[in-house]
Amino acid sequence: MLLLSNFIGGKFASLKEETYIDSYNPSTGKVYARIPNSTEYEINLAVEAAQKAFQTWSKTSRSTRAQIMYKIADILESKLNEFAIAESIDQGKTLEFAKNVDIPRSIYNFRYFAGHILHTEEKSTVMDNIALNYIQRSPLGVAGLISPWNLPLYLLTWKIAPCIAAGCTCVAKPSEFTSVTAYMLCDVFKQAGLPEGVVNIIFGTGSKAGQALVSHPKVPLISFTGGTVTGKKINETCAPLFKKVSLELGGKNANIIFEDCDFEKTVDTSIRAAFSNQGEICLCGSRIFVQKSIYPKFLDAFISQARQLVVGDPKDPKTKVGALISKQHMEKVLKYIELAKEYGGIIECGGIRKKLDGEFSDGYFVEPTVITNIKSSCRVAQEEIFGPVKEAINLANDNQYGLSCSIWSENGRRARRVAESIQVGYVWVNCWMVRDLRVPFGGVKKSGIGREGGEYSMNFFTEQKTILINL
Ligand code: NAD
């Protein structure tokens, strides 16, 4: 059994009160790790360590910061398999997905932001012959970084990398459901020579450790990725304290398909968009709108591919859909399927828990599910299910969320017109989840506040001061 400890001031630290949380392997339903149930006490120690480290790190040159970050990336890359195996066991995702998406992207997060700080220039402006303006950017201080369980290391490093690149230090809290790769990352930091206290990682629940971090007076900025309900709570805590907040929240993304699409590519990618990572990606295309003329053909092809997706042992290369994160989450997903039936939804395929044999008999598997005949106003079409459950309906913007959207059409003018009228932060035309880390990423409506990526992350972690010098 793995026993995790917090990482404070460059050292693995014991808890004041030795209480732990069980962490389950979702594919077996068995406990396999124990996570520190940290409290305000541990958060305070971590913030102190981060404050101390900030004195030096904020003044460390860009080239040194970048050098250390490149080293972190290199070490992580040398351990790619080890990390991918751990992520797959901890989260339930397929090993293939962890190997090809989670860990490579975590490595790239460090490389990208190391490169970013080396290659961006600061602008200055001259105002006629009167004045010279320039912007001084200063790292803001100790950041609180809170991440979810669906893409554990990928999303944690998406926050840690820009934070330390900008010269901030941090206290990071991964999800209590998936803490193992964050724990392993602490060793990578040590090996790479990251100075003590620059990154501190505290494990525990959102209500104890998370809340203590968010409300800590010496933590002026909070970067959060997770559910909309939690995001609202965090915003309520931060607003009266005037903290800078970035909220990357839920999504219920539309996948809009026109009759002139590249049919095969559209079906293949729509399947990936719907069921990758068991449908547990905030960007999943979970509402599918198909032009009437190709609807029957699309539905047939889509259902036939969904039925062929192998659900099972995450380690098996044939497996395309692993286990859902927890028993509670699986029950929530199954409840939505029941709700869909009550509203007259037709379950075209799946719709049930997948029971496997042997060591996986208690795993949290759900069959890829396609639901049709759902009204846009129905809760199934409005709320985030975050599981392998998709429905084909007619309206895209009629939703409380606004994270991303995919549009499928070979008519560029049509695609652009639709893209510009969709209320989201990110639109893909003829693709899904292709990411350029330089561009703004984030949502509108209940999908969040703020943008991450390249310069946008740098703006978050720094304060800009304008200095005007009279000429
Ligand atoms: P969650 O909101 O339950 O938890 C996220 C993190 O917040 C965890 O680390 C949790 O411990 C912590 N937390 C919970 N309550 C807290 C509190 N009061 N104060 C401080 N921290 C607290 O979300 P989840 O279930 O782990 O993740 C799934 C959600 O994340 C989905 O809604 C998904 O769409 C969203 N998500 C969004 C993005 C994005 O980029 N927009 C990316 C991935 C996931």
Q: Is the CB of 250 under 6 A from ligand 1?
A: yes
* Cα–Cα distance, 86 to 82 (Å, whole number): 6
Residue 390's pLDDT is 57
pLDDT in tens, 316-360: 999 999 999 999 999 999 999 999 999 999 999 999 999 999 999
Residue 52's pLDDT is 98
Length of the chain: 471
Residue 389's pLDDT is 66
Question: Is-above-0.90 flag for pTM?
Answer: yes
172 phi/psi in degrees, rounded to 5: -110, 140
pLDDT in tens, 74-108: 999 999 999 999 999 999 999 999 999 999 999 99
Question: Please, are residues 189 and 113 in contact by the beta-carbon 8 Å criterion?
Answer: no
Residue 377's pLDDT is 86
Q: How far, in Å, from the CA of 61 to the mean position of ligand 1?
A: 33
Query: ipTM for the complex?
Result: 0.96
User: Within 10 Å of residue 216's Cβ, how many Cβ atoms?
Assistant: 20
Q: Which residues, 6 or more positions from 287, have their beta carbon under 8 angstroms from its beta carbon? A: 252, 253, 254, 255, 381, 390, 391, 393, 396, 399
Q: Is the CB of 245 under 6 A from ligand 1?
A: no
Catalytic residue check, 176: no
Q: Is the CB of 176 under 6 A from ligand 1?
A: yes
Closest ligand 1 atom to Cα of 149: 26
